[in-house]
Amino acid sequence: MSEGSAPAMPVRSPSPSSKRLGNRHPTIRDVAGRAGVSKSLVSLVMRGSPQVGVERREAVLRAAAELDYRPNAVARSLVRKRSFVIGVVLSDLHNPFFAEVVDGIEEEARAWNYQALFSTASLSPEREAEALETFLQLRTDGLILAGAELPTQDIVAVAALAPVVLVTRSTRSPILDSVTNDDRAGARLAVEHLIALGHGAIAHIDGGRGAGAAARRSSYLATMRSHGLGEEATIVRGAFTEEGGADGVERLLARGSPPTAIFAANDLVAVGALHALGERGLRVPQDVSLVGYDNSSLAALGHVDLTTIDQPRRELGAFAVRLLLERLDRGRREARHVVVPPHLVTRGTTSSPGRGLRERPGPGAQPKPDPPPSSSD
């Protein structure tokens, strides 16, 4: 047991002796009486203090087990003026990207003897605001917002009451900390990968108002223009969901000059696009190349095999906890904005252009066979 950590309390059914307390919960006074020690010594034992000798520590723990005593976390936090609990609001738990960010948050929090409480906003700013209010009422020591969609001024108002760290959303606020992937660099990697394969007609299904979507969208446009492909640039509105990707494909197919490659705003968008293309009889990558963003667990699935941009999910979560603890434990006051670099992960959904969507037959027509291989070396 590390110094300052609380002892593990045994999980057990109520003992016969605990029934003599009636219907009320046993208190620290009851434990002290059973062990024949003072309340302050029981408190020291429950805090894991090394100042208590082995014999009296065991007596207190034995009494606590006999009485089924559980420390009152609320009372303890009032005395210590700290709860050692972090509130985490996730934009969308259905997105495996956020599940992996949670892994990083939880592992880092436990390493510092903090507990993390999680709530999901289901892509709703209103539910996000409700979750934040609940965590403030619970007196959590700090807050982490992953993929936040609330207006910045609303988040700043919360940060006046408790430290706040944003994950995947950049900010210039002097009182908010943030840890983000370099979305502009990631989008550039995706587009330049497709250009290097020979694609010019590259479309982008964007992430709507989701965190990071605007930076990926603007970088897509800038990269297309920097390579002389500004006239080929096409953006269709989407959302960070599979439905957003499927709808984006439908909009692209309704245009007169569909693309040979698609850069999707995240992996969920790419999976939705992959499904919609398949329903239309289009093959990836033979007909359309496809790049996602996140390198979530979905991307590596054998039947998906998605080329994507990796952002280190666990590292983002761990960094968020560290930034929070710098404010809580070290008293840092100036804002810190950490940016981690992305990198390209090439899999099976990208290749050189085939005939693409531009030469696809109309509804009901049979697709053309692939051209025979060249006989030249």
Two structure tokens written together for 272: 């939705």
Distances (CA, A) of 218 to 206, 213, 266, 296, 316: 10, 9, 15, 23, 23
Contacts for 243 with CB less than 8 Å, ≥ 6 apart = 272
> What is residue 355's three-state secondary structure?
coil
Please give the domain boundaries of the chain with CATH numbers for all domains.
26-71 (1.10.260.40), 82-180+313-340 (3.40.50.2300), 183-312 (3.40.50.2300)
Distances (CA, A) of 59 to 6, 31, 33, 44, 69: 16, 10, 11, 13, 13
Which of the 8 DSSP states describes residue 373? Answer: P
Question: Do 242 and 279 touch, CB atoms closer than 8 A?
Answer: no
Tell me, letter by letter, the H, E, C secondary structure of 153-190.
Answer: HHHHHHHCCCCEEEECCCCCCCCCEEEEECHHHHHHHH
Written as tens digits, the pLDDT of the chain (377 aa) is 343 444 444 444 444 444 446 567 788 888 899 999 998 888 788 767 788 889 998 998 898 888 888 766 555 555 556 788 999 999 988 888 999 999 999 999 999 989 999 999 988 999 999 999 999 998 899 999 999 999 999 999 999 999 999 999 988 889 999 999 999 999 999 999 999 999 999 999 999 988 899 999 999 999 999 999 999 999 999 999 999 999 999 999 998 778 999 999 999 999 999 999 999 999 999 999 999 999 999 999 999 999 999 999 999 999 999 999 999 988 899 999 999 999 999 999 999 997 555 444 443 334 333 333 333 32
Q: Kindly report the pTM of this predicted structure.
A: 0.74
> What is residue 61's three-state secondary structure?
helix
State how far the Cα of 225 lies from the Cα of 79, in Å rounded to an integer.
60
Question: Do 318 and 104 touch, CB atoms closer than 8 A?
Answer: yes
* Dihedral, 226, 227, 232, 236 alpha carbons, nearest 10: -50
Q: Which residues partner with 143 through β-bridges?
A: 87, 164
State how far the Cα of 344 lies from the Cα of 326, in Å rounded to an integer.
31
> What is residue 235's three-state secondary structure?
strand
Question: 203 phi and psi, to 5 degrees?
Answer: -105, 160
